[in-house]
Amino acid sequence: MIAIVDYGAGNLNSVKKAFDHLGANVVVTTQPETISTADKIVLPGVGHFSALGALDNTGLRDAVLQGANAGKPFLGICLGMQWLFEGSDEAPKFAGAGFFNGRCRPFPSSVKSPHVGWNSLAVREGSRLLRNVAPESFVYYTHSFQAPVVASTTAATEYGTEFSAVVERDNIFGVQFHPEKSWTVGLLMLKNFCEL
Amino acid sequence: MLTKRIIACLDMDGGRVVKGVQFVNLRDAGDPAECAAAHARDGADEIVLLDITATSDKRNTMLDVVSRTARCLFVPFTVGGGIRELSDATAVFDAGADKIAINSAAVKDPALIAKIAARFGSQAVVVAIDARRVNNGFEVFVAGGRTPTGRDAIQWAREAAACGAGEIMLTSMDRDGTKAGFDCELTQLVADAVSIPVIASGGAGSPQHFIDVFRDGRADAALAASIFHFGLENIGQLKRELQAANVPVRWPC
């Protein structure tokens, strides 16, 4: 069973719908106990980094971290991916999980922010999440802060600066864009996650 | 590279897709869920479903149509029409929309923008502005273009962005349904006034119109309805022409 973590920020229907379409056994949950019994964990999220503070106040953070540290495949989407880094300038007092080094920062002033729309990936070799994904596929973004390119970056996107589109290390995966809204390319990535 | 979006708009009335010329003379164009899926397959970057008579009829948006349309649609999906308060927006999101478009209700109570954005994020709130040329600029109209407000469209776009709107969907009422081209001047004025994306709407009739509104109008996205429904243009063909003119688009997709 795949648990989609509901910490009260935004609309999780689209993420659930995409997994449903793939035939996955998926639940949206606010309960740490459900996360503990799941095989895989998905942390979605839109909006402000401070919304992740709700993880800390509800016992969800511990359940999510336990699962991730126990080796369960974990996918952070958008804000959920940013959480995998050390933190974000958007809400400096909230700590990220620190699976990846660096902090999320705003886009340079040379480009309009937020970054909204379909942008292309520069896919690096060896990604498990992007198996069979064409190297310059387009995916749908909507975000105001971006994570740096790190050693674990398996795809990058260019918008004023180069930022991490996909990060992955062992069982931990993160995507800055919305695979559930990225047409067949996005569904392929979610399918790859289901099959891990 | 960030691409320019082509958005297919389904104007819905009584559960069917319709399209009028300058907001009247509606013609039937099919089932919303089928139209949306077909446009996505053709290469539409996004789908917008507008219940065009919702406000004037004081009806709620047809949630079952939204839910049926959303079920197998894996591109961004915006729903507008008849959303007057947070609970209306919540119902539309629950039915499967990714974004809501608000028009009349936002003009009446700009705080509604912030309220919906606080719960669902700014990326989920599109403020739709219907503007018509007047002597000294562009005036905002509400209630499906029936009611003038005396407000300046550029000023209102700025205010909406400041309230937390994620995008502006800007319709030129003068051009709507005419196929005479987008109003590039209006689009450019709004695009330069706000930092959020601007979706140009009203007047699409040829690939050149899209090229013009992306270049001269500085639009981030362009929306059209009738051009697609009646087979006058295929989205893939449109995108190939844009590519040939060096407009970045998501193609092939």
Q: Determine contact, residues B197/B221, Cβ cutoff 8 Å.
A: yes
Determine how many CB atoms are found less than 10 A away from the CB of residue A25. Answer: 12
A142 vs B123, B195, B221: nearest CB: B123
Contact across the interface for A118 and B3, Cβ inside 8 Å: yes
Which structural domains are found in chain A, ordered by start? 2-194 (3.40.50.880)
Q: Give the residue from A21, A116, A120 with the most B CB atoms within 10 Å of its CB, the best one to mutate.
A: A116
B30 pLDDT more than 90 = no
Contact across the interface for B196 and A11, Cβ inside 8 Å: no
Contact list, B197 vs chain A (CB under 8 Å): 112, 114, 116-117
State which residue of chain B sits closest to A122, comparing Cα positions: B1
**A54 reaches B (C-beta below 8 A):** no
Which pLDDT belongs to residue B24?
45
Determine how many CB atoms are found less than 10 A away from the CB of residue A48. Answer: 20
Which pLDDT belongs to residue B8?
93
Residue ranges, chain A, pLDDT below 70:
none
- pLDDT band, residue B14 (cuts 50/70/90): confident
Secondary structure (3-state) at B143: coil
Q: How confident is the model over B133-187, as pLDDT tens digits?
A: 999 899 999 988 899 999 999 999 999 999 999 999 999 999 998 999 999 999 9
Distance CA B116, CA B119 (A): 5
Per-chain mean pLDDT for chain B: 89
How far is residue B169 from each of residues A40, A155, B50, B103, B110, measured CA to CA in Å?
38, 31, 12, 9, 16
- pLDDT band, residue B56 (cuts 50/70/90): low
Burial of A71 by CB count in 10 Å (0-12 exposed, 13-18 middle, 19+ buried)? exposed
Task: Please give the share of chain B, as a percent, with pLDDT higher than 70.
Answer: 89
Tell me the residue length of chain A.
Answer: 196
- pLDDT band, residue B69 (cuts 50/70/90): very high
Q: Which of B13, B88, B130, B212 is catalytic?
A: B130
The closest of B87, B18, B90, B21 to B49, measured between CA atoms, is: B18
Element (H, E) at A35: helix A32-37
Contact across the interface for A112 and B120, Cβ inside 8 Å: no
Please tell me the distance in Å from A180's CA to the nearest CA on chain B. Answer: 6
Contact across the interface for A117 and B167, Cβ inside 8 Å: no
Q: Give the residue from A17, A90, A118 with the most B CB atoms within 10 Å of its CB, the best one to mutate.
A: A118
B31 pLDDT more than 90 = no
Q: What contacts B54, CB < 8 A, 6 or more positions away?
A: B60, B61, B81, B82
Please tell me the distance in Å from B216's CA to the nearest CA on chain A. Answer: 17
Contact list, A19 vs chain B (CB under 8 Å): none
* Neighbouring-strand partners of residue B228: none
HSE, side-chain direction, 13 A CA sphere, residue B156: 27
* A27 φ, ψ (degrees, to nearest 5): -130, 145
A117 vs B2, B122, B195: nearest CB: B2
The structural domains of chain B, with segments of one domain joined by +, span 5-244
Contact across the interface for A114 and B122, Cβ inside 8 Å: yes
Burial of B11 by CB count in 10 Å (0-12 exposed, 13-18 middle, 19+ buried)? buried
B93 vs A13, A17, A159: nearest CB: A13
CATH superfamily for domain B5-244:
Aldolase class I (3.20.20.70)
Tell me the average pLDDT across B213-229. Answer: 89
Contact list, B3 vs chain A (CB under 8 Å): 117-120, 138
Which pLDDT belongs to residue B22?
45
Which pLDDT belongs to residue B21?
46
Which pLDDT belongs to residue A11?
78
Q: What contacts B166, CB < 8 A, 6 or more positions away?
A: A114, A116, A142, B99, B117, B121, B122, B123, B124, B125, B126, B196, B197
Calculate the CA dihedral of residues A157, A160, A162, A165 and round it to 10 degrees: -30
Q: What contacts B231, CB < 8 A, 6 or more positions away?
A: none
Q: How confident is the model over B177-213, as pLDDT tens digits?
A: 899 999 999 999 999 999 999 999 999 999 999 999 9
Which pLDDT belongs to residue B55?
59
Please tell me the distance in Å from A171's CA to the nearest CA on chain B. Answer: 26
State which residue of chain A sits closest to B1, comparing Cα positions: A119
Contact across the interface for B74 and A10, Cβ inside 8 Å: no
Contact across the interface for B98 and A11, Cβ inside 8 Å: yes
Element (H, E) at B35: helix B32-42
DSSP line for B175-236: TTTT-S---HHHHHHHHHH-SS-EEEES---SHHHHHHHHHTS--SEEEESHHHHTTS--HH
ipTM > 0.90 for the complex: yes
Q: Determine contact, residues B66/B83, Cβ cutoff 8 Å.
A: no
B20 pLDDT more than 70 = no
Which amino acid is residue A50, in one-letter code? S
Contact across the interface for A9 and B71, Cβ inside 8 Å: no
CB pairs under 8 A between A and B: 91
Q: How far is CA B117 from the centre of its chain?
A: 18
Q: Determine contact, residues A147/A81, Cβ cutoff 8 Å.
A: yes
B23 pLDDT more than 50 = no
Which pLDDT belongs to residue B34?
86
Q: Determine contact, residues A32/A54, Cβ cutoff 8 Å.
A: no
Crossing angle for the helix pair A183-194 and A13-21, to the nearest 10 degrees: 70
Contact across the interface for B2 and A119, Cβ inside 8 Å: yes
The closest of B19, B77, B5 to B47, measured between CA atoms, is: B77
Catalytic positions of A: 78, 178, 180
Q: How confident is the model over B98-116, as pLDDT tens digits?
A: 999 999 999 999 999 999 9
Active site residue B130: yes
Distance CA A51, CA A94 (A): 9
Contact list, B124 vs chain A (CB under 8 Å): 10-11, 46
- pLDDT band, residue B25 (cuts 50/70/90): very low
Determine how many CB atoms are found less than 10 A away from the CB of residue B53. Answer: 18
State which residue of chain A sits closest to B120, comparing Cα positions: A10
Strand residue runs (E) in chain A: 2-5, 26-29, 40-43, 74-77, 87-88, 103-106, 115-120, 122-123, 138-143, 145-146, 153-159, 161-169, 172-175
Contact across the interface for A112 and B197, Cβ inside 8 Å: yes
